[in-house]
Structure 1
């Protein structure tokens, strides 16, 4: 395997100089940089994508920016993206922003320094002018914003479907868990559920939450049953919260689904492993990732006829936290 030391020896420079060229960090003279790039090309130094992009000004790298890699929904998206890109010889650079604007900026800078030819983003700061200044093909994933090409599912329909399903299954005192206010898909789901609940002959309450994290979901579930101990139906903001509600309901001695029915959102793999297994609204994460990658590649190739907005379907997946009809 060719190493950075081999490149340094071939170019007649130090390892530190090669590192500066690779990372585009620090000053390197034009002639020296050219020697290093030529050595990389001759030796086919790995990672080849970086070497080629520096030497030929070409790249097979795509950036993918996610808001929270610990949420099992997002690895499903990423896998769909990666599988589709790899078929065309592209490779993925992954960034996890943790919903932190500073981290998001740092990852975008890293993508640019590595000469990515396109960007997929599922984060929540797209309204800022940052993305407009990138001059890169950009596709929004799991959300839609303005003029950007987008691949997303119909959150409003999904929220409405969850509410209608609980009502049809006999729930009369429903608690709607409202997702974080800064996350647009969460608000779409909330609005969809509200549209249905507001027109139905049921009592309902809203529990606002600020996070989708595993750590905080337990606290939200505890708060739900403290505030609304007699609730007989819960529309969770996502599956993580839904599973936390299952655990808390069982801890309180409630029988699921006889005493309380629960519907999650996303259909992460853990839904079928919880006890009881979680009924949920499925959005096709893997396929969304694949379609977003296809759309981005079409834009990179200049295919003007490609569809620039794709809304994917949602469906109710019945398991054991809702009553069988």
Structure 2
């Protein structure tokens, strides 16, 4: 990778002259400027963003904090953020908190040390004081907050849709997986499903889960079929949990969707590749990421933001872990 010294050597000028060209600061003869820019192009030189931000007292770096990079939903969010930031000439530093508060705090410190000018957080601990004590704008993504702007999907409506689709397809003994208690978005899904099931002619059970991880889903799947063996429909807290339940159901010999119907939540890319493909509630993850990036950029630029909490719609994606409606007649 080329350095500023390499550019100076190629152009036959001093490092200070290259620095003045890069930062558009101070006088440089036009012929010299042309030589430096040609050297930059030939060497494909990329300035060090941290160093430039320290020199200019202005950064183009954004911190993006994710809870679990192994969950395929979060890279979709990140891609939306990155594409929008890249288009506006910002750069990302990404941290993976592994759902651990201590690691989350370490990454926030790292972001600050690297002179970021804003943070987008999709982690599980939005109520912690370390966000309120920051002197830079914060936007929560796929999370809600009373103190900071946020971008999220309509989880309440998603839960209602999932419950309606299960009832419509003839399920009578539904098990509902309740997501992490500290996440308002997870609780919204749960509340929406509960509201719909309570006015329907079905029996239902509730299982609490502490994480959206596949490992947690595997544990829940084994407990589900042990404690509620007559379940004929599962509304999962997310697609990773739904995939684990599908895997365990097939392992113990249940026919899908004849014996058991499953609906996930998120519509991660893996959902359509499972066998059978997973019916799910789609969150527009990529679009959510782009909206969070746009919102943060407006805050950085001190623009007026009329709507600080942006809710995007969800939809039902019908695949093969649910029966066709006509099959119930």
Deviation at 1:205, TM superposition (A): 0.6
Cα deviation, 1:27-85, whole Å, max 9, x if unaligned, reads: xxxxxxxxxx9699369685521111111111110111111111100000000000000
- Which whole-Å CA distance do the structure 2 matches of 1:141 and 1:40 have between them? 39
Taking only aligned residues, the RMSD between alpha carbons, in angstroms, comes to 2.1
Aligned length: 297
Cα deviation, 1:202-248, whole Å, max 9, x if unaligned, reads: 01011112222222322211111111111110001110111111111
Deviation at 1:307, TM superposition (A): 2.7
Give the match for residue 19 of structure 2. 41
In structure 2, relative to structure 1, the CA distance for the partners of 1:203 and 1:84 (3 Å cut) is same
Kept in 2, the 8 Å contact 1:124–1:184? The answer is no
Give the match for residue 289 of structure 1. 289
Give the match for residue 159 of structure 1. 159
Instruction: Establish whether residue 207 from structure 1 lines up as the match of residue 207 from structure 2.
Output: yes
Give the match for residue 75 of structure 1. 75
- Which whole-Å CA distance do the structure 1 matches of 2:64 and 2:275 have between them? 33
Cα deviation, 1:119-153, whole Å, max 9, x if unaligned, reads: 10111222122112111011111111113111101
Structure 1 segments unaligned to the other structure (5+ residues):
11-36
In structure 2, relative to structure 1, the CA distance for the partners of 1:136 and 1:38 (3 Å cut) is farther
SS in 2 for 1:117: coil
Give the match for residue 23 of structure 1. none
Deviation at 1:305, TM superposition (A): 4.4
- Which whole-Å CA distance do the structure 1 matches of 2:153 and 2:17 have between them? 47
Give the match for residue 180 of structure 1. 180
- Which whole-Å CA distance do the structure 1 matches of 2:204 and 2:151 have between them? 32
Cα deviation, 1:95-139, whole Å, max 9, x if unaligned, reads: 111111111111111111111111101112221221121110111
Kept in 2, the 8 Å contact 1:73–1:266? The answer is yes
Give the match for residue 307 of structure 1. 307
In structure 2, relative to structure 1, the CA distance for the partners of 1:104 and 1:41 (3 Å cut) is farther
SS in 1 for 2:62: strand
After TM superposition, what 4+ stretches of structure 1 lie above 3 angstroms from structure 2?
A: 1-4, 37-47
TM-score by length of 1: 0.86
Give the match for residue 255 of structure 2. 255
Instruction: Establish whether residue 196 from structure 1 lines up as the match of residue 196 from structure 2.
Output: yes
Kept in 2, the 8 Å contact 1:175–1:206? The answer is yes
